[in-house]
Amino acid sequence: MFNANECWGVLQQLDCNIVDEVTATIYHYTRAESFKGIIESRELWMTNAFFVNDITEIRRPLNGKELFRDVQFENPNEFEEFKNEQCPPDDEDVKKHYLVSFSKQHNSLYQFREYGDYCIGFDPQKLERECFPRTFRWFECIYDPKDIKEWIITKYKLPEWNKVCFSNEQGKAYKRAAFDDLKFTVQAKFKNEHFNPENEVRLLAKFDHLWAWDDYNGSVAMFGGQPAIYFKNNDGFNAPVPYVKFFIPKEEITKEELDVIFRDSNSAIEAKQYIRDREEKQERELLPIKEVIIGPMRHQKEAVVATQIFLDENGYDKVKVIPSDIPFRGK
């Protein structure tokens, strides 16, 4: 007999086992002005994936036959259909994703020169939000096709794939959803090999900005956990680039509040404005910053002193400020 609750529980367990658990300190490289904004606002900006520097981001073609050659998810028709796919996600899917990038490598000359003079060390286990539904997820990038294949095989061996609740036709729909999650995770983790020196870890979220309001009648389950979308000027694109704000609120918006917002709204635009107003009023916790490394520059000593005073004045008095020891004259 089909048990939807059991299938849903297995689906959640697979999600937990597929997503990356990041524990070691991660580093975000940025310029002085952006560093100032992060500290004062207590937030990180997650850029729409359509506008990041890597033009293959979330859209790298997956060779299904090659990557999944050694696994079989026992759902033959749908699985074989995917294995024959040779195309990346389309633009409509890519532009639903937002991300902010970190690195497992600290004090990197390559990244100081590429991204800015400030290297902020974060505790990833505290850089999380418990929102409804689960929204923000960690992904450690993999650059070698052999390594991503090994990762797939490891996840294929998870015992949850063989649960009895997946065996009938209704259960197969849940299994397909789990497989789609695995496929998306591969797309999110698999990065072009030319970016290997960055040793990237990214915080990524998916939001459908085109709310199907009439179809779902303002369903909180569909749209409730989606934060507001903002826009920033970008000279490179000469266009307002969309982004979302990641921060740690002292109190999350509750499901009950969301119910009221959607009940009282007459359109998606009106509901989004309510959420934006509510988000702007949320008090933020301090970001879990462990240290700040000041990159090589001509006035590094002065920058260290200024940064320490700035952090102290904004509540980060326990954060260490460290001058990089890279022997580069700087700009």
At 131 the three-state DSSP class reads coil
Q: Are 283 and 249 in contact (CB under 8 A)?
A: yes
Q: Which residues pair with 217 in a beta bridge?
A: none
Pairing of strands 289-294, 320-323: parallel
Supply the mean pLDDT for the chain: 84
Residues 6+ apart with CB under 8 A from 274: 261, 264, 265
Which range, of 109-118, 179-188, 282-291, 301-310, averages the lowest pLDDT?
Answer: 179-188
Rg (CA), the chain: 22
Q: Which of 93-97, 190-194, 299-303 has the lowest mean pLDDT?
A: 93-97
DSSP annotation of 198: G
**How many angstroms separate the CA atoms of 165 and 162, rounded?**
9
Reported as a single tens digit per residue, the pLDDT across 207-265 is 766 665 555 454 554 555 678 889 998 878 888 999 999 999 998 877 787 778 777 87
Angstrom CA distances, 42 to 22, 109, 153, 253, 266, stand at 21, 26, 39, 18, 32
| 8 A C-beta contact, residue 38 and residue 287 | yes
Residue 330: CB atoms within 10 A of its CB come to 14
Q: Which of 250, 278, 281, 204 is nearest to 44 (CA)?
A: 204
pTM of the model: 0.87
Q: List the domain boundaries for the chain.
A: 4-210+288-323
d(CA 80, CA 73): 9
Helix (H) or strand (E) holding 245: strand 239-246
Residue 91 token pair = 């633009």
CB 280 within 8 A of CB 313: no
Spatial distance between the Cα atoms of 304 and 119, rounded to a whole number of angstroms: 12
Each residue's pLDDT tens digit, 9-58: 888 888 888 888 899 999 999 999 999 999 999 999 999 998 988 887 77
The pLDDT confidence band at residue 68, using thresholds 50, 70 and 90, is confident
Average pLDDT of 186-207? 90
Tell me which amino acid residue 83 is: K
